[in-house]
Amino acid sequence: MNAPERLPLPDVQAGLDARNLPIDRVGIKRIRYPFVARSGGHAVHTIGTWSIGVALPPHVKGTHMSRFVELLESQREPLDIDALGELAARMLERLDATSGSIEVSFPYFVAKAAPVSGITSLLDYEVTWRVSVDRAAASARIKVVVPATSLCPCSRDISEYGAHNQRSHITIDAGVRGAISIEELASIAERSASCEVYGLLKRADEKYVTERAYDNAKFAEDLVRDVALELDREPRVTHYVVEAENFESIHNHSAFARIERVVGRSASDR
Amino acid sequence: MNAPERLPLPDVQAGLDARNLPIDRVGIKRIRYPFVARSGGHAVHTIGTWSIGVALPPHVKGTHMSRFVELLESQREPLDIDALGELAARMLERLDATSGSIEVSFPYFVAKAAPVSGITSLLDYEVTWRVSVDRAAASARIKVVVPATSLCPCSRDISEYGAHNQRSHITIDAGVRGAISIEELASIAERSASCEVYGLLKRADEKYVTERAYDNAKFAEDLVRDVALELDREPRVTHYVVEAENFESIHNHSAFARIERVVGRSASDR
Amino acid sequence: MNAPERLPLPDVQAGLDARNLPIDRVGIKRIRYPFVARSGGHAVHTIGTWSIGVALPPHVKGTHMSRFVELLESQREPLDIDALGELAARMLERLDATSGSIEVSFPYFVAKAAPVSGITSLLDYEVTWRVSVDRAAASARIKVVVPATSLCPCSRDISEYGAHNQRSHITIDAGVRGAISIEELASIAERSASCEVYGLLKRADEKYVTERAYDNAKFAEDLVRDVALELDREPRVTHYVVEAENFESIHNHSAFARIERVVGRSASDR
Amino acid sequence: MNAPERLPLPDVQAGLDARNLPIDRVGIKRIRYPFVARSGGHAVHTIGTWSIGVALPPHVKGTHMSRFVELLESQREPLDIDALGELAARMLERLDATSGSIEVSFPYFVAKAAPVSGITSLLDYEVTWRVSVDRAAASARIKVVVPATSLCPCSRDISEYGAHNQRSHITIDAGVRGAISIEELASIAERSASCEVYGLLKRADEKYVTERAYDNAKFAEDLVRDVALELDREPRVTHYVVEAENFESIHNHSAFARIERVVGRSASDR
DSSP string, B171-191: EEEEEESS---HHHHHHHHHH
B34·C11 Cβ contact <8 A: no
Contacts of A200 (CB under 8 A, 6+ apart): A114, A119, A120, A121, D66, D69, D70, D73
Chain C residues with beta carbon closer than 8 angstroms to that of D32:
253
pLDDT at D7: 64
Chain B residues with beta carbon closer than 8 angstroms to that of D160:
211
Whose CA is closest to A240, among A177, A196, A195, A168?
A: A177
pLDDT at C7: 63
Instruction: Give the distance between the most distant pair of CA atoms in chain B.
Output: 83
Residue of A nearest to C123 (CA): A252
Instruction: Give the distance between the most distant pair of CA atoms in chain D.
Output: 83
Contacts of D32 (CB under 8 A, 6+ apart): A107, A109, A124, C253, D47, D48, D49, D50
Q: CA-CA distances (angstroms) from residue C202 to A153, B4, C113, C196?
A: 15, 11, 11, 15
Secondary structure of residue C153 in the 3-state scheme: helix
Contacts of B203 (CB under 8 A, 6+ apart): C9, C11, D154, D158
Residue C5 has pLDDT above 90, yes or no: no
Length of chain A counted residue by residue: 270
pLDDT at B266: 43
Contacts of B137 (CB under 8 A, 6+ apart): none
Question: Residue A3 — pLDDT band, cuts 50, 70, 90?
Answer: very low
pLDDT at B7: 63
Residue C26 has pLDDT above 70, yes or no: yes
d(CA B54, CA B77): 23
Q: What is the pLDDT of residues C161-193, one digit of tens each?
A: 999 999 999 999 999 998 899 999 999 999 999
Range of weakest confidence among A173-182, B250-259, C43-52: A173-182
B31·C212 Cβ contact <8 A: no
B/e letters for C89-124, b = 16+ CB within 10 Å, e = fewer, are bebbebbebebbbbbbbbbbbbebebbbbebebbbb
Q: What is the pLDDT of residues D199-236, one digit of tens each?
A: 999 999 999 999 999 999 999 999 999 999 999 999 99
pLDDT at D178: 80
Strand partners, D35: D46
Q: Which residues of D make CB contacts under 8 Å with A?
A: 1-2, 4-5, 9, 11, 31-34, 44-47, 66, 69-70, 72-73, 107, 109, 116, 119-122, 124, 199-204, 207-208, 211-212, 215
Rg of chain A on CA atoms, in Å: 23
d(CA D256, CA D24): 32
Residue D5 has pLDDT above 70, yes or no: no
Question: Residue A77 — pLDDT band, cuts 50, 70, 90?
Answer: very high
Backbone dihedral angles phi then psi of residue A91, each to the nearest 5 degrees: -60, -45
D229·C257 Cβ contact <8 A: no
Contacts of A211 (CB under 8 A, 6+ apart): C159, C160, C161, C162, D2
Chain A residues with beta carbon closer than 8 angstroms to that of C211:
159-162
Q: Tell which of D145, D252, D253 to mutate to test the B interface (max B CBs under 10 Å).
A: D252
pLDDT at D179: 85
Residue C240 has pLDDT above 50, yes or no: yes
D197·B252 Cβ contact <8 A: yes
For residues C270 and A102, the model is more confident at A102
Q: What value does the mean pLDDT take over residues A60-89? A: 96
pLDDT in tens, chain B (270 residues): 343 445 678 888 888 888 999 999 999 999 999 999 999 999 999 999 999 999 999 999 999 999 999 999 999 899 999 999 999 999 999 999 999 999 999 999 999 999 999 999 999 999 999 999 998 899 999 999 999 999 999 999 999 999 999 999 999 999 999 889 999 999 999 999 999 999 999 999 999 999 999 999 999 999 999 999 999 999 999 999 999 999 999 999 999 999 999 885 444 443
Backbone dihedral angles phi then psi of residue D189, each to the nearest 5 degrees: -65, -40
pLDDT at D21: 96
Residue D26 has pLDDT above 80, yes or no: yes
* Alpha helix stretches (DSSP H) within D51-173: 66-74, 81-95, 153-158
Q: Tell which of B201, B252, B253 to mutate to test the D interface (max D CBs under 10 Å).
A: B252
Q: What value does the mean pLDDT take over residues A93-117? A: 98
Strand partners, A99: A134
Nearest-Cα distance to chain C for D51, in Å, is 9
**CB of C9 closer than 8 Å to CB of B210:** no
**CB of A255 closer than 8 Å to CB of A200:** no
d(CA A138, CA A132): 6
d(CA C34, CA B106): 12
For residues C204 and D76, the model is more confident at C204
pLDDT at B13: 82
Element (H, E) at A255: strand A254-262
Determine the angle formed by the axes of helices D220-232 and D182-192, rounding to 10 degrees. 140
Query: D: neighbours with 3+ CB pairs under 8 Å?
Result: A, B, C
Q: What is the pLDDT of residues D234-251, one digit of tens each?
A: 999 999 999 999 999 999
Residue A6: left if φ>0, alpha if ψ -120 to 50, beta else—which one?
alpha
Q: What value does the mean pLDDT take over residues C131-151? A: 96
pLDDT at B5: 45
D161·B195 Cβ contact <8 A: no
pLDDT at A66: 97
Cα-Cα end-to-end distance for chain D: 68
CA D209 to chain centre: 26
Q: CA-CA distances (angstroms) from residue C168 to A247, A249, C248?
A: 11, 8, 8
Q: DSSP class of residue D5?
A: P
Q: CA-CA distances (angstroms) from residue B202 to D222, D238, D257?
A: 21, 40, 20
Q: What value does the mean pLDDT take over residues A225-232? A: 97
d(CA B38, CA B18): 45
Chain D residues with beta carbon closer than 8 angstroms to that of B160:
211
Strand partners, B35: B46
- Write down the mean pLDDT value for chain A: 94
Determine the angle formed by the axes of helices C81-95 and C66-74, rounding to 10 degrees. 140
